[in-house]
Structure 1
Amino acid sequence: MVYPGDRPRRLRTSAAVRGLVRETRYEPAQLVLPMFVGEGLTEPRPVSSMPGVVQHTRDSARAAVAEAAELGLGGVMLFGVPEHKDASGSGALDPAGILNVAIADARSEAGDALVVMSDLCLDEFTDHGHCGVLDDRGRVDNDATLEIYGRMAVAQAEAGAHWVGPSGMMDGQVGVVRAALDAAGQVDVAILAYAAKYASAFYGPFREAAGSSLVGDRRTYQQDPANGREALREVLLDVAEGADVVMVKPALGYLDLVAAIRDRVSVPVAAYNVSGEYAMLEAAAERGWIDRERAIDETVTSIRRAGADIVLTYWAAEIARRR
């Protein structure tokens, strides 16, 4: 028997009612658009596994940043795709390297109208595709990599990055980056720490977009997808080292971690709706299996509902255009 007070459907009777009692909302200002900028390109290069995503030229990247600011997005996350790579990822430190000039271009285009973020990792710049330099046994050398990360952070800050995003999952990376920035007088540059970054199968399309040269895998430094408590440990270490924002990557398979981390820290929490998550939805929509726009909205809403204050998504500009 249904009692008069037991009718939750009263609050679903119309779009107006549903909107009035909606628990989770998101605005363009909470979204960040990841962007790839290719060195030497004369026109944008489509990413075959990510429909609608391109490797930008410097000019098209400027235009995309300007549009992102006009749309009211919260930020852009920049990735550089260099023409030449070497074992130490030296292009990451070069002021004339593609990522650093892309940062400078973005700041000159948008100023402070949105947050210019930069990926702080060596994987796009190394010929072996790992996130750090290798030792004589072919393993990623954590501490040698940290020294480069510190210098890379300063280069990105000097290029104009508001936030730097150490994403290599090296032990101690946030503390080293914070110390390097402070010593260089870049005390206002914030750190978006990729604090819980998993060795995920859902990064496949990203590797095409970023021109990855990866040999092997990253399981010795990125987290095991089976582990949750370990993620909390990583996050708390990053906060203790000075992270201003912590991030979970990927998002959809790790919403439990987003919620758990939101409950444990007072800093903002971000989540990255990664390339594989994007690609599988686009593929299903292209085949007519799902309603594309509703699925996009439901995806981002679920990440926000789990507790993410900031969502990095390749749909950020499209979502903002529809608002």
Structure 2
Amino acid sequence: MLELRAVGFSYPGASAPALQQIDLRLGAGECLGLLGPNGAGKTTLLSLISGLLRPDQGELRWCGEQAERPLLGIVPQQLGFYAALSVRENLGLFADLYRLRDAERRTRLEWVIHSTALEDKLSRRADRLSGGEQRRLNFALGLLQPAPLYLFDEATVGVDAQSRLLLLDAIQALTAAGKAVIYTSHYLDEVERVAQRILLLQQGQVRLDLDKQQLLGDRHGLLLEWPGPPPAGVRALLEALRLDVEWLPNGCWIEQLDAAALARIAEFVGTQAPLPSLLRFGRPSLEQLYLHFSGGQL
């Protein structure tokens, strides 16, 4: 559906390019999780894809050809509705702008209202909604546009946990229907849930672009963290067990340990003071891997 080849972009007067040599392919029904620290180039990349900016180098192709850019569904960081209008009036206005008619209009309005839990907010003025409710309206207006590709840029900031789950379900419904999605968020548990591929940007360059399962793998291990330095004796125990250990500032990540080693470690740390502030067994989370690959940069 979308292909970027060696795309680069620089802002006037900037000392370094915002993006350099970006190669990207995105297919229908695929959700790409776009990660990176602030200033990595995520919003610039979305702006190039949406046509707000034009690349200085390289090319952007749609459907394998330099065809016309299709309609896009966009949920930006900034709120993009009319504050003096009600929720219902905003939805109706944007449905007009998207040229939605008859059954399609009714169906899409019902779906986005349900997906964003706005049923009881329709008569409220947009500027009198809470911050999280305004985010949900912003989300609904982006979902309302029928499009083959949807761009979400920090779309759930300030949204409560229950509403966030509804919004993530809506994104998964898009990909299940064959739509392509690019999703960027600092909530890495969200990205881990909705994305099939992970692309990490750093200083305007692609650091990695991998299938999520390939990235997370089936490695299992034990993560231990303490409020301060680990108790005396922990390092000696792990060395005696000859385990593969990655030491962290206040803890460690232990890979490939069997049931007997897990029992020994749990028994030992349970008798030491202080007790761990975190003890988790399983595969590494996307957040752990992101911090590892980005050198600890949030």
Name the structure where strand makes up a greater proportion of residues.
2
Larger Rg: 2
Same fold? TM cut 0.5:
no
- Higher relative contact order at CA 8 Å, sep ≥6: structure 1 or structure 2? 2
Could you tell me the TM-score, scaled by structure 2's length? Answer: 0.30
Could you tell me the TM-score, scaled by structure 1's length? Answer: 0.28
Name the structure where helix makes up a greater proportion of residues.
1
